[in-house]
């Protein structure tokens, strides 16, 4: 069973034209299954504002699409069914689900449109503010730091016991290779993209890794057939991650 939710970004009110609306799909999963969100085209009534987000919560996955609608009224749209990828590389596409979204107008009620006059541009807000508060906060922080250092010098605490060894987490690299060999290139590309961004966040900037991450993100966001360079990008991503692990 797939649950579809519609949430307005930031405020519990009826969304208006141009607001960011999050349309979420909850998908139950079996052990070691993952989901891959498909691309979505709303046509003339609206636009998907960015890549979909996938969060794994317990035994389910929640897929969230940020969308905006250009016209007021009640819109019936169809959320594309996600692709469930099994550990052995097999995949199943779930059915699409219809959802209805009510969008309010931004124009004042009971006023003819031809009588509306655009508002004039607002004045520039001043950005400068002079205050002694930052200096006071700085002196307070310096005083607290000096007090803490003096207290540590007076009290000698025993050394903490050594931490218990943590078992290394199982590597997802073999699974990504298995998906690629099984023909699930898009799912493998999303997995390699996640690994590359994780390594870039904890290491020095690397132009090759950054370029690979952006290219793989673009593949995951696109709908339809894979671009010709997708296979080579997956191979290059695997080689880059392996080189980082050896380094």
The CATH number covering residue 73 comes to 2.60.40
CB contact burial 115-154 (16+ within 10 A = b; e otherwise): eeeeeeeeeeeeeeeeeeeeeeeeeeeeeeeeeeeeeeee
Residue 187 structural domain = 173-246
**Chain segment 2-14, per-residue pLDDT in tens:** 555 655 555 567 8
* Boundary of a domain, candidates 106, 124, 140: 106
Asked if residue 144 is part of any domain, the answer here is no
| Phi (first) and psi of residue 64, to 5 degrees | -120, 130
**Chain segment 154-197, per-residue pLDDT in tens:** 665 666 677 655 444 456 778 877 887 887 777 778 887 887 88
The two tokens of residue 168 are 């290394």
Q: Check: CB of residue 35 under 8 Å from CB of residue 29.
A: yes
- What's the structural domain count of the chain? 2
Same domain, 97 and 22: yes
Distance of CA 177 to the CA centre of its chain: 24
pTM tops 0.75, yes or no: no
Same domain, 89 and 9: yes
* Boundary of a domain, candidates 47, 73, 106: 106
Asked if residue 123 is part of any domain, the answer here is no
**Chain segment 71-115, per-residue pLDDT in tens:** 999 999 999 999 999 988 889 999 999 999 999 998 887 778 777
Same domain, 18 and 93: yes
């Amino acid at each position: 069973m797939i649950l579809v939710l519609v949430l307005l970004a930031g405020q519990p009110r009826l969304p208006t034209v141009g607001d960011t609306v999050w349309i979420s799909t909850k998908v139950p999963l079996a052990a070691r299954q993952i989901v891959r969100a498909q691309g979505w085209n709303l046509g003339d009534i609206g636009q998907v504002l960015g890549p979909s987000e996938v969060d794994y919560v317990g035994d389910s996955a929640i897929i969230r699409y940020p969308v905006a609608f250009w016209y007021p009224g009640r819109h019936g749209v169809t959320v594309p069914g996600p692709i469930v990828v099994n550990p052995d590389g097999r995949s199943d596409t779930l059915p699409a689900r219809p959802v209805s979204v009510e969008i309010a107008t931004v124009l004042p009620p009971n006023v003819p449109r031809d009588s509306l006059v655009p508002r004039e541009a607002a004045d520039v807000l001043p950005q400068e503010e002079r205050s002694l508060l930052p200096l006071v906060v700085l002196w307070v922080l310096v005083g607290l730091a000096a007090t803490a250092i003096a207290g540590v010098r007076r009290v000698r605490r025993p050394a903490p016991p050594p931490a218990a060894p943590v078992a290394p987490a199982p590597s997802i690299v073999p699974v990504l290779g298995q998906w690629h060999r099984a023909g699930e290139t898009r799912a493998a590309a999303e997995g390699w993209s996640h690994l590359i961004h994780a390594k870039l966040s904890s290491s020095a900037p690397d132009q090759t890794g950054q370029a690979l991450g952006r290219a793989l993100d673009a593949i995951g966001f696109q709908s339809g057939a894979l671009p010709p360079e997708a296979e080579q990008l997956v191979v290059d991503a695997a080689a880059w991650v392996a080189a980082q692990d050896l380094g």
